[in-house]
Amino acid sequence: MPLNGHDARRVFESILPDDALAEIIDAARFEERSRKRDAVKLVRAMVIAASTGYGGRQADVMRVYFESGAPRVVRGGFYSWFGSALEKVMNAVADRALEFVRQQALDVPGILGRDVSDWHIVDSTTVRLDDSLMHVFPGAGDYAAAKVHKRFSVGLGTLYDYSISPAREHDAPHLVIDESWRGLGLLADLGYASLKLLADCQEHGVHFVIRLKENWKPRVLAVGRGDFRKVFLPGTDLDVLSASGTVALEGKAVDVDVELGRGHRTVQCRLVGVPVADGAYRFYLTSLPASTGPLQVADLYRVRWEIESDNKLDKSCSHLDAIGARTESSVRALIHASLISSMIACSLVHAARINDAPPPAPQAERTTPPLHPQTLARAMGSAALMIAGAFEESGTKADLAWKKIAEHLTHLGTDPNWRRSPSILDQLRGWRISPGRPRSERVANSNRNAVC
């Protein structure tokens, strides 16, 4: 089922409603000194303009703000509004958006929901800034940059939480596993890997899937799956067993119980290995039970790519990397605006996915393209003024406006590569997606039909 007008209206008006924005603006004292400023329209323009990409970020906000009917002011006066009060407003609106997405229904079918209520992915993305901000946002080199530390929900299909820091800060301290994580699953790259992280996951009931670090020496405790040619001594390093021929990696999946660490800081978990190209293996550490086989563990780790796609959404579509502001407050305000815009795009895709019927049978053929956050975000940019205008309507006119917007987003927001490069999530949901015919073949058939 495509995105409908009711869901489009629900997402936008739940995150950017008049009354809540007015309260946030009043609490931040953003509008008290300006009679020519329509602060509610400005906040909406901050979010809606993030996906337009016509010019600079602040220039795009100004264009959408003025064209939505707000009073016009000179450019210098408009830019002066980007201060600490606006930062407080956008921070509060981001909190509201996060609260909204966390309340939506989860979509965790198949092995995604077998052992956890949801999978969360952690990663960071770096935003290059004007070098005049190096004293506030020092980068890893001789430049200014901010880092957004992200926690992404697979079941919600969108950002679950985030924080902003100077890019020079390491990622690991920004991931803290506590009781709020209980019952969840964690997918993380090697930048976060540590024995403490794995121990914290086990202490708080969090399942994890993470790549094996090269310098870690797991000691084999028991064998679940693998070709072992002779008796081995439990506690021997896996690489020692491989080198001696005790364990043969001959293109078969490996599944062993291992222990990592020394002394009183040790962690016991599974190590699974799956063959990849040229006889090489890829190894993962996981606390999932043996009912989730090595290939399924590898598929679950592939889901980590969802946060990489979300990073691309932020930068390519919500223009997170196009921030030319020169004050800390305006940078933070624009970062919040970009991430809120991305959350709206993802929430619209998630709403359509929830409406979509599950496969009628295992491995049923999918025949309609799904919506994709990046293409839908670009469609949002082309409909920016339509969206701004829909907030001004009421009654039947509002229903028709949101219906038209939903149709526009559905028409332009489908995944163009859904057959050539199907989503791992669609595959885990049980869909079979056959490759499409090559474009040259389709054109040839079309020409033959035209001649006939």
Q: Which of 289-298, 324-333, 429-438 has the lowest mean pLDDT?
A: 429-438
pLDDT (tens digit per residue) in 16-44: 999 999 999 999 999 766 567 899 999 99
Quickly list H helices, 318-438. 328-355, 373-382, 384-390, 395-412, 424-428
Confidence of residue 444 (pLDDT cuts 50, 70, 90): low
Confidence of residue 12 (pLDDT cuts 50, 70, 90): very high
- Tell me if 121 sits within 8 A of 303, measured CB to CB: yes
pLDDT (tens digit per residue) in 143-189: 999 999 999 999 999 999 999 999 999 999 999 999 999 999 999 99
Give the pLDDT of residue 230: 47
Confidence of residue 281 (pLDDT cuts 50, 70, 90): confident
pLDDT, greater one: 273 or 397:
397
Give the pLDDT of residue 262: 82
d(CA 257, CA 363): 32
| Angle in degrees, 0-180, between the axes of helices 84-102 and 328-355, rounded to the nearest 10 | 20
Q: Which of 45-49, 80-84, 357-361, 400-404 has the lowest mean pLDDT?
A: 357-361
List Cα–Cα distances, 399 to 48, 395, 396, 402, 412, in angstroms: 19, 7, 5, 5, 20
Query: Which class for 228: exposed (0-12), middle (13-18), buried (19 or more C-beta within 10 A)?
Result: middle
